[in-house]
Homo-oligomer: A and B are copies of this chain.
Amino acid sequence: MPSPSDLVAQDFETLYHNHLLPYGDAEVSEEFLKQITELMSAHIIKSNNRDEKVLNFVYPEKLEKFFKDYKITEKPLSLQKIIDDCKMIMELSVKTAHPRCFNQLFSGLDWVSLAGECITAACNTSMYTYEMAPAFNCLEKLTIDKMASLCGWTEPCDGLFNPGGSISNLYSVQAAMNYYFPNVKQEGCYGMPKMIAFTSKHCHYSMQRAVVILGLGTNSLRQVPVDERGRMIPEELEKLVLACKEKNEVPFFVNCTSGTTVVGAYDPIEEVNKICKKYNMWLHIDAAWGGGALLSKKHKHLLKGIEEADSVTWNPHKMMGVINQCSAFLCKKKDILAKCNKMNASYLFQQDKLYDVSYDSGDKTLQCGRHVDVLKCWLMWRSKGDIGFENHINHLFSLADLLYKEVKARDNFEAVFDNPQCTNVCFWYIPKSLQHLDRTSTEFKEKIHKIAPKIKAEMMLKGSMMMSYQPLDTKPNFFRMVFNNYGTRNEDVLFLLDEIERLGKDL
């Protein structure tokens, strides 16, 4: 075993897994982790460099072939080989921290949040019981309460951090089912009245998935029409509710989206809430994407009425930039999650422990072991403060404002929706060859539909940026730009339009 002083020059080629703790040496272990940290830092620093490519695209068939040389072998591989593996993996990965990685509702890389995720890994525990995760259970409660207070909730609530917003949305439907029909836990949906949930046509697809998973089936979800800006139309909701009642179906749940995935619409919570109260339905707010606006005095009006909701999904890993995954589910009714999921496993949730077992959070979840997702959020929030997050959110909205104005100002771009509410800006790029066509003609629609995928393919092969496109309702493929990376600046907004023009000029 080398002495610590040799380690800087240590050749990991001759060191193996068993040279690490618990059988090996503390110094070797420490030095190994240092080398990994250096790789991490180098990757993130590189990702922050605008001259670097966002990705090095490789076709899947080719990559699969490449990985044939990276099989798990019978014999151990040296630690140097492991370090090389890490380097290789990072080179093949999308630089999600790049200020021009606009593809998803998450991006950027916050160093403090990263620190939280690394410390979480070193603590390697599970949330299910207080005894295994005392500090993390306390922090979860603190952070959930903080988020609830930003929703204007005045009483302490229940809540959990979950592996993604889809799971949080699933909880909301499950909670509502069990609230109105407590027998469902025992009897399932058999013999139950036909429970009907409502959501806007533009909601996240996880609402549909939730009713499928929960045994209600897609037939139990009604899609409410939206207005020209993509917001649920309350009158249409009421019509659908009344139509259900006529068929002896039982309306029990409404989801209001705060920040729809594609156009970033905020459904009118206050008006929808009135209908929920009138017909005794659960009001859920899916603010997975748009919840970040609550951190800004300027933009929080978009979620006016959220104080009346029964439950909320809000993903700090989206607009707030916390490391993936971090999704909070807030629930006003304090005992309903336990009623849904409590199984009283006697090996885990013993009632004769030395402490108050109401602090054991595990028996109300869909999971058993649950990853600690709170530290990376709490730590980042501590570090930025409320003010830091307010600036962060305002910055993202101002980028969207700039992009929208540029789209309106440039002749070869057209906005899909006027005056976007969130940081989503949807637009078409219209190449010269299509400019003369009637916008309502089939020819135009067919041709423009192919433009965005072509430009997207080009930008991926070039690696200059990444952004998303999709069709919507009867609208042909358009670009959806979303701002969620605090590192993105005005120059990147101009770059993205210029780059689309460059890539698309000959189409």
Contact = CB atoms under 8 A, between A and B. Distances in A.
Interface in A256-301: 261-262
Contacts of A353: 453, 456-457
Given A30-B45, A347-B262, A472-B346, A125 B96 contact: yes
A125 B184 contact: no
A385 B74 CA distance: 5
How many chain copies does the complex carry? Answer: 2
Interface residues of A, number: 170
A33 B134 contact: no
25 contacts: A21-B45, A26-B41, A29-B44, A30-B41, A30-B45, A33-B115, A76-B388, A79-B383, A92-B134, A92-B135, A93-B136, A94-B133, A96-B123, A106-B126, A114-B122, A117-B121, A118-B121, A124-B323, A163-B367, A185-B212, A189-B189, A190-B219, A213-B341, A324-B369, A353-B456
Contacts of A460: 131, 354
A3 interface: no
Given A93-B125, A93-B134, 5 more contacts: A37-B118, A60-B134, A93-B135, A124-B324, A213-B341
Interface stretch (A201-209, A430-438, A496-504): A201-209
Contacts of A206: 368
A463 to B, nearest CB: 12
Interface string A455-482: 0110011000010111110000100100
A44 B21 contact: yes
Interface string A333-358: 00000001101011110101111100
Contacts of A204: 368
Contact of A387 (B74, B116, B170, B218): B74
A122 B43 contact: yes
A486 to B, nearest CB: 7
A313 to B, nearest CB: 11
Nearest to A450: B352
B166 A367 contact: yes
A97 interface: yes
Contacts of A487: 21-23
A130 B21 CA distance: 35
A104 interface: yes
Contacts of A32: 111, 115
A328 interface: no
A30 B44 CA distance: 9
A29 B111 contact: yes
Given A22-B48, A73-B386, A119-B90, A29 B43 contact: no
Contacts of A240: none
Given A33-B114, A74-B387, A371 B371 contact: yes
B388 A60 contact: no
